[in-house]
Amino acid sequence: MKFAFNVKINQNSWGGGNSFLKIIYKFLRREGHNVYFDLSSKDLDAIFIIDPRSNNSTLAFPIIDAINYCLFKNNKTLIIHRINECNLKRYNSRIDIDNLLKKTNKFADHTIFVSKWLKNQKIWAKKNNVNSSVIMNGSDKKIYNTKGKKYWRKKDKFKIVTHQWSNNWNKGFGYYKKLDNLLDLPYWKSKIQFSFIGNLPDGLKLKNTKIIKPLNEKLLASELKKHDGYITGSKFEPGSNHQNEAALCGLPLFYIDHSSMPEYCRDYGKSFNKNNFEKNLKLFFINYPIYKKKLKTFQFNESFVERKYKKLINKIKMNKLTRKRKNHYYLYLYFFADKLKFYFFKIFRKFINQ
């Protein structure tokens, strides 16, 4: 079978969407399928829309090209729209991502959400189980694993870590500052060390925290294994990978009870909210052996993703997903204009890189 993706793989990035692309590309090729990052093939079985934003530097082709392909080149080709974004996640963003996703989704034959929480948002209330599904994320256990991991001994300080590529405040920085402040207290200073890997928001100072610059996947996995537990305070999270990467490296999860985080982290650590943060941090610390043992059954890895997508591909192969006729003329014009933006950004990036 033949599949095209509208976003290219970036070998230098470790964002969640890029991690998914690496996993699905290897899987499809291993299964004997052909994978394209353009629309050159005349007989594609499906086009996967991963990101509709025209200013994405890794965008392979704009949405209008996928629409035209299905209208004029092959009307049997399906459009599969994978959604892993929402406005709530994007603190202070100028982009109305919900509106763009909704417009794009009008042309989709099947929609994939990366969490039940995301699927249950009001904007997607009309989506049923026939034309949509939930396929949660998983990380590559060939990179993120417990090989060489040294586990915590009670006589040592308990090393907590988190990592965030984005410096968006919703990524949990309020809680990381809260933990940093707790380390002013003798009780916690004697028990815990805290490290942050990634990019901090402008103006945020973490005086008791070890700051580590962003790392690529292999170096990141190596650094995670040097720690004992993981904290994530990421709010309005549609479905992330950072908690999966930590858990696969053998780190129990201290996670915010918010949005999709319980779907990924439940049973593998202790949840918290703004009212019980310090109390539950103590419980997380005390119950570490229990969570460590449960991590042996952590399922959100690339094998999990591959199994779910294999079922979807079998549905496509057996014609259980069908092409739907859509005559959204006003949206056609919208995406035609969006194509002009795509080429503008492409030319602009080429110009500034000269």
Give the count of domains, the chain: 2
Same-domain check for residues 176 and 254: yes
Same-domain check for residues 175 and 268: yes
Residue 54, SS3?
coil
**What is the rounded (10 degree) CA torsion for 236, 242, 248, 253?**
-50
Pair of tokens at residue 119: 């699927």
Same-domain check for residues 285 and 215: yes
Same-domain check for residues 23 and 106: yes
DSSP string computed for 204-272 = ---TTEEEE----HHHHHHHHTT-SEEEE---S-SS-SHHHHHHHTT--EEEESSTTHHHHHTTSEEEE
Please report the pLDDT score of residue 165 as a whole number: 87
How far is Cα 296 from Cα 234, in angstroms, rounded to an integer? 24
Q: Which of 297, 322, 339 is the last residue of a domain?
A: 297
Residue 281 falls within a domain, yes or no? yes
Same-domain check for residues 11 and 124: yes
Same-domain check for residues 282 and 167: yes
Same-domain check for residues 322 and 339: yes
Residue 328 falls within a domain, yes or no? yes
Q: How far is Cα of residue 104 from the mean position of the Cα atoms in its chain?
A: 19
Same-domain check for residues 58 and 185: no
Residue 143 falls within a domain, yes or no? no
Same-domain check for residues 108 and 81: yes
10 close to 20: Cβ distance less than 8 angstroms: no
How far is Cα 200 from Cα 164, in angstroms, rounded to an integer? 8
Cα→Cα distances 95→53, 87, 88, 119, 236, Å: 9, 8, 11, 20, 16
Residue 174 falls within a domain, yes or no? yes
Same-domain check for residues 168 and 272: yes
49 close to 79: Cβ distance less than 8 angstroms: yes
Residue 259 falls within a domain, yes or no? yes
Residue 149 falls within a domain, yes or no? no
CB atoms closer than 10 angstroms to residue 251: 29
Same-domain check for residues 183 and 248: yes
pLDDT digit string (tens) for the chain, length 354 residues: 999 999 999 876 556 788 899 999 999 999 999 999 999 999 999 999 999 999 888 999 999 999 999 999 999 999 999 999 999 987 677 789 999 999 999 999 999 999 999 999 999 998 877 789 999 999 999 999 999 999 999 999 999 999 998 999 999 999 999 999 999 999 999 999 999 999 999 999 999 999 999 998 999 999 999 999 999 999 999 999 999 999 999 999 999 999 999 999 999 999 999 999 999 999 999 999 999 999 999 999 999 999 999 999 999 999 888 887 667 878 998 999 999 988 888 887 777 776
Q: Which of 262, 282, 297 is the last residue of a domain?
A: 297
R_g over Cα of the chain: 21
Q: What is the CATH number of the domain that holds 101?
A: 3.40.50.2000
How far is Cα 250 from Cα 266, in angstroms, rounded to an integer? 15
Residue 151 falls within a domain, yes or no? no
For 118, residues 6+ apart whose C-beta sits below 8 A from its C-beta are: 83, 84, 86, 124, 238, 239, 260
Strand order in the sheet with 2-5: 34-36, 2-5, 46-49, 78-83, 110-113, 132-134
Q: Residue 72: exposed, middle, or buried by beta-carbon count in 10 A (0-12, 13-18, 19+)? A: exposed
CB atoms closer than 10 angstroms to residue 280: 17
**Amino acid letter at 242?**
H
How far is Cα 259 from Cα 117, in angstroms, rounded to an integer? 6
Residue 148 falls within a domain, yes or no? no
Tell me the pTM.
0.94
How far is Cα 116 from Cα 179, in angstroms, rounded to an integer? 29
Cα→Cα distances 22→165, 171, 238, 310, Å: 18, 23, 19, 16
Same-domain check for residues 105 and 204: no
Query: Containing H/E element for 350?
Result: helix 329-352
Range of the domain at 96: 2-138+302-352
Per-residue H/E/C for 64-107: HHHHHHHHHHCCCCEEEEEECCCHHHCCCCCCCHHHHHHHHHCC
